[in-house]
Amino acid sequence: MAVRYARLWPLVVLALALLFTQLEPEPTRALPWLAAWAVWTVHIGLGLMLAVLATRATARFSGLDRRGPWPRLLLGGVLGSLAFAPLALGFERVFPVPIDGAADGLLGRWEAAGGVLALLAEWLQLAPSYLITWCLLNLVPLAPALVGTEAPAPASAPVDAGPPIDADPAGDTAEPGPTPSEPEVPAADASAGEVFFSSLPVAIGRDLVRIDADLHYLQVRTALGRATVLGSLAEVEATLAHAGLRVHRSHWVAFAHLRRVSKSAKGWACELRNGDRVPISRRRLAEVRERLGSGFVIDPMG
């Protein structure tokens, strides 16, 4: 399970800080070894944290996901480097590097001028190495997506969604659909399922509600809470086919918490018992309607 890589990020920061300390760069050369390592750990850790936060903030730009994970990663890296530039400039003020003579080159003159020009010069100097490092750190988690090793969709099987009715309690007319029948649950890979659940905090339980993809992370929501783990919906789709259905490139829903499948002005969606509406993609609509039907409402108190 790819979730194991999530625990390596702090180790990566410590390792990079150790490398910088051993190289004895000019800014921290005069510091004791442990102090220099601490400085570089904070410096590199802040840079990585800003890249992670910036990449997550790009989730609102849903159109980027159509071209795979790299556009969001690159945009997050650029935004992270912009946010990191003032911190890097402050780092240089605290740990200055002696310069002999006048500043050379355009960027050197911008740094000497201070203000916005100094910030711009700092960003132009750090952005290339920042982006390269950010992309390299994401190569391992993204490897399955890059080579296209996505698990095939499970075989269709109907689910008992309750008797069809003409309208829901609120008076909305529901479109007719096939009558759900007794579910034919495919055999589950118990060991793979246990690996997935072992990656979740024990406190949030195993009563899955929905799972949403965010780049190579999964936002897992249960009846008791939620957690973020590293993984892919392709793995979820393959290992938890008995418990739910992938209805969108970025969304998986649990059968146990499904209330209805309906259409609105925004398109088709699965409505869950907690009130969430999970969109159904056009590519998966036929499979969803075949397996779940439509025009039904499950008693939310049931």
Only one residue has tokens 């952005």, namely 127
* Structural contact between residues 213 and 250, judged by C-beta atoms closer than 8 angstroms: yes
pLDDT at 272: 92
Domain edges within the chain: 2-147, 154-302
Average pLDDT for residues 157-164, to the nearest whole number?
Answer: 41
Whether residue 156 has pLDDT greater than 60: no
Whether residue 148 has pLDDT greater than 70: no
HSE value, Cβ hemisphere, 13 Å, CA-based, for 211: 31
3-state SS string over 137-149? Answer: HHHHHHHHHHHCC
Report which secondary-structure segment, H or E, holds 116.
helix 115-147
> 150: closest CA among 212, 214, 236?
236
pLDDT at 169: 39
CA distance 263 to 150: 29
Average pLDDT for residues 126-149, to the nearest whole number?
Answer: 71
Q: State the chain's mean pLDDT as an integer.
A: 75
pLDDT at 185: 38
pLDDT at 151: 41
Q: pLDDT grade, residue 190 (50/70/90)?
A: low
Average pLDDT for residues 47-75, to the nearest whole number?
Answer: 75
Average pLDDT for residues 133-160, to the nearest whole number?
Answer: 54
Average pLDDT for residues 259-267, to the nearest whole number?
Answer: 85
pLDDT in tens, 28-38: 888 898 988 89
Q: pLDDT grade, residue 7 (50/70/90)?
A: low
Out of 26-30, 239-243, 297-301, pick the least confident: 297-301
Q: pLDDT grade, residue 170 (50/70/90)?
A: very low
Whether residue 27 has pLDDT greater than 90: no
Top mean pLDDT of 10-24, 107-121, 268-282 is at 268-282
pLDDT at 102: 53
Average pLDDT for residues 281-290, to the nearest whole number?
Answer: 86
Average pLDDT for residues 70-85, to the nearest whole number?
Answer: 87
CA distance 82 to 74: 12
CA distance 274 to 257: 8
Query: Is CATH 3.40.50.300 what the domain over 154-302 is classified as, yes or no?
Result: no
pLDDT at 221: 93
Whether residue 146 has pLDDT greater than 50: no
pLDDT at 208: 93
Average pLDDT for residues 77-106, to the nearest whole number?
Answer: 80
Q: 76: helix, coil or strand?
A: helix
- Distances 157 to 76, 255, 273, 285 between C-alpha atoms, Å: 39, 12, 22, 15
pLDDT at 98: 65
